[in-house]
């Protein structure tokens, strides 16, 4: 089965394709020749995920899903949250990480979680799936794998950041993996 993933972020497309395996073929926005900027004006992960999937379904009529993810830090009142991709005012994740570390300073409470919400549309009906993983923010950047905030997030039960894990390990435990697995469980019954 083909599913359009409402993203041009090749890191995310590759990560999700690795999780879903060969049963489903993911297509990115580029694969369906969608080069438009999809609105992301919601103030929740759910609203943004819905905007993405609805845009693709309404315009292209494919089975599709959109997601929105972000980092929520307890002592920063949930920031960066839905603004995770452009927290520093740009989409530069080095600058975004620097701002998180600066805002946390020496605060000993470094609890955080990554959260993903997926909006899947099949035959015009929408289904929502959520995944989250608890962890903590490091004081320094560590690791070169992954993307986004991976170099400053250590999941609970680990002593290394997402950016220090190999892709298979991260894909087994990440917030996105949890949400995608819930979606797959649903699709396998569809």
Catalytic (active-site) positions: 68
In the three-class reduction of DSSP (H, G, I as helix; E, B as strand; rest coil), residue 78 is classed as coil
Distance between CA atoms of residues 92 and 86, nearest Å: 7
Contact 137, 152 (CB under 8 A): yes
Q: Are strands 2-5 and 64-73 parallel, antiparallel or unpaired?
A: parallel
Distance between CA atoms of residues 134 and 43, nearest Å: 21
Backbone angles phi, psi at 5, to 5 degrees: -100, 120
């Amino acid at each position: 089965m083909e599913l359009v993933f409402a993203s041009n972020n090749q890191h995310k497309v590759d990560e999700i394709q690795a999780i879903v395996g060969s049963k489903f073929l993911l297509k990115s926005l580029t694969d369906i020749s969608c080069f438009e900027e999809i609105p992301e004006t919601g103030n929740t992960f759910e609203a943004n995920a819905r905007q993405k999937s609805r845009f693709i379904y309404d315009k292209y009529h494919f089975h599709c899903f959109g997601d929105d993810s972000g980092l929520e830090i307890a002592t920063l009142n949930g920031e960066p949250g839905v603004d995770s991709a452009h927290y520093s005012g740009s989409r530069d994740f080095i600058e975004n990480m620097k701002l998180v570390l600066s805002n946390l300073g020496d605060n000993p409470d470094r609890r955080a979680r990554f959260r993903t919400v997926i909006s899947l549309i099949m035959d015009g009906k929408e289904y929502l799936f959520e995944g989250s993983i608890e962890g903590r923010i490091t004081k320094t950047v560590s690791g070169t794998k992954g993307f986004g905030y991976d170099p400053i997030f250590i999941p609970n039960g680990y002593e290394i950041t997402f950016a220090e894990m190999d892709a298979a390990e991260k894909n087994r435990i990440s917030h996105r993996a949890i949400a995608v697995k819930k979606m797959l469980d649903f699709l396998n019954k569809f």
